[in-house]
Structures are given as C-alpha cells and as structure tokens.
Structure 1
C-alpha cells in the first residue's frame, strides 16, 4: 500500500485516524459518521447523498445487506423523478432531442453519482488485513494479494472490499475460457485489477475468424492492454 492520506473521525470521545485507501483515487472523506446495525437504510441513503461517509461498526453481514439496500434506492427512480419523467414525455415534441454525446455524458454523470453514493459505506481493516467486526470473513489473503503489506490500519469502502474478495475467488478457482484439442477446459487465474474474460463470445469469434492476408508478410502486432492475455495466446497459435 502506497497511499499516505489519513482519514479522521471521532469515536468514544477521542479523535482517531487510519490510512485511507482507494484504488480509484477517491479523495479522503471529510465528514465521517459511525454506523451500526441500528441505522436504517433510509437514513444511510440520506447521509450518503449528503456527502457523509459511514464507518461501519456493526455486524459485517448486515453491512453487506445495507449496501444492497443502498443499491436498490440508487437504482430505483424516486416518485419526484417519475413525475418529472411524465412531464418531459408530454413535452418531448417541444424539447430538442439530445445528441448521442449528451446521452453519453448524462450516463457517465449518473454512474459517477451512483459510485459516489455506494462508496460511502466504509470498513476499517487491521494492519494484518483482518476485520474486527462480528461475522467478518477472513479477507487477509485477498487483501494481501491486492494491496501487499499494510504498514498500519486502513479504511476502504465496502464496495471495493467486496471487489477484492471476488477477485481473490477468481484467482483461486480460475475461470474456464477455452478448451484444448482434447476438450479439457483451459483455465486462467486473473489477479486483482486485471479484467477477466468472463464472456467467451469474442474468444470464439477470434478463434474462428481468418486473419488478414497481410499478416503473412508482416506479422508484427502490438497488443496493448492485454488483461489476462487470452487473446494474445489465441493470436499466437
């Protein structure tokens, strides 16, 4: 871990701090509130929308359920949005049609706001990558693979932590992407931060599509951003 920003909060009448870690480069949250099993999803959603991060001190599995509740609230249009949508439908013939660029920028803005809200639920990890919460899973190996050694306690978003856990499972069990000549599956073990080929349609497409004739005389190619390298292997076969 190479991020040296500190995240600070008050707890038990004392000022406390820990390293802040975000793989997406999100800045340290300034407003922190402790949260536990007594906090309702509506209250958590309101605080997250207002820019207050929630440092979880309750049961870990309840934190996961709370995150799912936040996802439902973010993805479900409010009644006000539905009313505005009906009004806009009625006046659609009067409004100028949005360009593809406008729609793209609107989608990016919505995704950014969604990620910001869902990233407000925080988990504190110990220097050995363990979590001191009830029913917390053993994430020491997963976090060690993703982050390396931790010099001290650190705080990350629960959403990022769940991504680290999923990446560890992919790395441990592997993902079948192709089959060899005998029909045995070829398995890759992607590490954290590497895009995994979870869809195989394009792999079959590359396998079955003839390469350009120009490659017979000039077969040099630059493969940039190879991820797990599956396409590179196919093209080299």
Structure 2
C-alpha cells in the first residue's frame, strides 16, 4: 500500500511499512512479529481478526503482584499500556467510502464519519482495536443512555466520557436551589450536568470543554433535549468569560498523565485541571455564588494524592466548604473482586462539595 491516511488516538506515527496477513496467522506468530516492531495489515475475515486480538490479549502477562494500592495501580497502567502497544499493531484498511475490506465485516462508515469526518484519502488505516471501540461508541450514540433524573436520553460521542456512573449525577440532584440561576459547567463532556440543572430551572448554562468532540456532543445533546436556547458550549480550558451564580465541575479524578485522547476524561496530570478550577473559581462567582465540585477520593485511596491535599489547596485558593454530601461508589468495578484495584475501588467515596470564597478577615 503506497499511501494512506493513518488514524490514531495516541498520536503514534504512521507505520512506515505494513505486512499483509490473513486468517492463517496464529496468535503466537502475531505476537512474535509485532514485538519485532511490525504492523500487520489484516486482510482476512473480520470475526477471525477479532478472535486473533482476543487470543493475543490472553497471552499478554498479567499485572505483577503488588504490595500496595499504588503499586497495583502502576502495574495495571503498565499492563494496559503494553496491551495497547501490542494489539494496536494489528491494523485494517478502509476504502474511500470507509468500507472495511474484510470478509463478514460490519458497516463501519457511519461510525468513522462521526469520528473523523469525510474521508481524505483513498485508503484509511487504523488499528482494529480502535475501530472496534468506535463501533461500540456508535451503538451508544444511536440508542442513547438514560440518566437518573434527566428527561430524555444522552447520546454520547466516541472519546467523550460515558456517564454510566450514577453516583455523581445523583449527588447533583440533591442541589435544590437552582431556579433562575446562571450556571457555568467547566469540563462539560456530554453536557449531562448542564442539562440536569437546566431541566430543574436554571436560567442558562455556559459550558466549556477542551475537546472538540465533547463540544460537538454537548451541543447535539442540547438540541435533542430542546435546551439549546438556554445552553451555550465553548471549546477551551476551564472557565468561560464572566461570572455565574453556580459553577459546576466534575473534573478528571486521577492526577496522572493521560496516555491517549480518551484518557483525558479520567487522568489530570499534576492536578492541572483541578488546581485551575480551584484557583479561578472565586473570581468567576457572582456575589453569593457557589461552586459545585464533584470529586472521588480514589486518588487518595491509591496513594496518588494525600488525604490533606484538597483542604490545603482550598485554603491556598481562598475557598471554604460551605457544605458537602457523599455517597459510596456503586459502579461495577467497586464490586468486582477480580479487579486488580478492588481494594481501593471497594472503598471509594464520591463527594459533592459546595464551595464559597472564604470570608475576609477583619483587622483588629
């Protein structure tokens, strides 16, 4: 294949050479070849290609035994990175119409257009693992997702955080005084928090997100829900211009570097997003306004952040906790004893903090 458009979520360089393979390739042989640095262009049957990926994954080493939650977390991330680096070398080609050139292949064109737009080359090459993820995301986008307390469904886009966890949504529903208030939603994702507040009487929401896919997703969801006249979404980091009565954020929870574009919804290197939110909150609140911060303690349980860190940063930023409400995690991983991080996830608590500027100290 002489020229092609290369698609990657992790900014990997395009393969300099593609080695065609077919259904005769075994998982052991595939592992040997990708470990030598080859990119294998699968040309056989789609279902067989999926089985090859699964068989290769089963042959990868499990995370090493850990003596602490932090060691378990580091080992799990290394294992996932190895899995990505290995399995992403099985690639497939799409034609000018985004037709997947494999036998028994599903129609992938719509999923590809949703993520990449119109084709820009006669051939597009992508890892099979990424394409399978895009197909799964397309199904969520088509059928939509019901969210507790929301009238209508959220239709998530590929690469945008999927709001399947209900704990943080239910915490926000406990905030009753929202009628007539101007709201900022910082790091909106699908827009789900904005829409919950709008349906409960907020006068308007201005939302932001650094990812253009999230911006498009939130805008589309607002239109589907009939809320677009009171909802605006901007692409950018942190706060929109101006001030609001309520500023809500559900930031990424783990202060670690994201390894790909999708990771950015979960990983916040050096707490940059969270610190930016805390440092800028007071100046973006109207008098009497309040910040609503939703934060899991998983980073503390894993040893990535001290138990005192948040209190110290709130004090440094001139903020105080007016009130807070917490709930234990109820997502599936909190109950999965086979999960390497079960010891921490089973104790995870998510908290909604009501934050206000600290009162000025009167001089004596």
**TM-score when scaled to structure 2?**
0.49
Deviation at 1:150, TM superposition (A): 0.7
| Conserved 8 A contact 2:149-2:173 | no
Give the alignment partner of residue 139 of structure 1, picking from 108, 124, 145.
Answer: 108
Q: Which has the higher contact order (CA 8 A, sep 6+)?
A: 1
CA deviation profile, 1:68-105 (whole Å, cap 9, x unmatched) = 1122122547xxx7xxx6xxx9xxxxxxx8894x6655
Aligned-partner SS, 1:20:
strand
Aligned-partner SS, 1:198:
coil
Q: Does 1:119 align with 2:105?
A: no
Aligned to 1:23: 9
Aligned to 1:4: none
Aligned to 2:140: 170
CA deviation profile, 1:38-97 (whole Å, cap 9, x unmatched) = 0001111222223211100111111011111122122547xxx7xxx6xxx9xxxxxxx8
CA RMSD in angstroms comes to: 2.8
Deviation at 1:31, TM superposition (A): 4.6
Q: Does 1:63 align with 2:49?
A: yes
- Report the count of equivalent residues: 197
Aligned-partner SS, 1:133:
coil
Aligned-partner SS, 2:100:
coil
Using a 3 Å threshold, how does the CA distance of structure 1 residues 113 and 76 change in structure 2: closer, same or farther? Answer: closer
Give the alignment partner of residue 160 of structure 1, picking from 130, 139, 143.
Answer: 130
Give the alignment partner of residue 35 of structure 1, picking from 21, 24, 49.
Answer: 21
| Conserved 8 A contact 2:5-2:120 | no
Give the alignment partner of residue 234 of structure 1, picking from 164, 183, 196.
Answer: 196
Deviation at 1:209, TM superposition (A): 5.3
Which shows bigger deviation, 17-26 or 38-47? 17-26
Give the alignment partner of residue 32 of structure 2, picking from 46, 50, 54.
Answer: 46
| Conserved 8 A contact 1:31-1:51 | no
| Conserved 8 A contact 2:90-2:128 | yes
| Conserved 8 A contact 1:178-1:187 | no
Which shows bigger deviation, 120-129 or 143-152? 143-152
Deviation at 1:186, TM superposition (A): 2.7
Deviation at 1:29, TM superposition (A): 2.2
CA deviation profile, 1:164-206 (whole Å, cap 9, x unmatched) = 11111111111111245xxxx6311112222121222221122
Aligned-partner SS, 2:16:
coil
Aligned to 2:172: 206
Aligned to 1:186: 152
| Conserved 8 A contact 2:41-2:91 | yes
In the alignment, the residues of structure 2 paired with residue 26 and residue 41 of structure 1 have an alpha-carbon distance, to the nearest angstrom, of 23
Deviation at 1:220, TM superposition (A): 6.3
Aligned-partner SS, 2:161:
coil
Aligned-partner SS, 2:59:
helix
Structure 2: where are the runs of 5+ without partners? 201-364
Which shows bigger deviation, 227-236 or 158-167? 227-236
Deviation at 1:145, TM superposition (A): 1.3
Higher strand fraction (1 or 2): 2
Deviation at 1:222, TM superposition (A): 3.9
Aligned-partner SS, 1:74:
coil
| Conserved 8 A contact 2:108-2:135 | yes
Aligned-partner SS, 1:55:
strand
Aligned-partner SS, 1:116:
helix
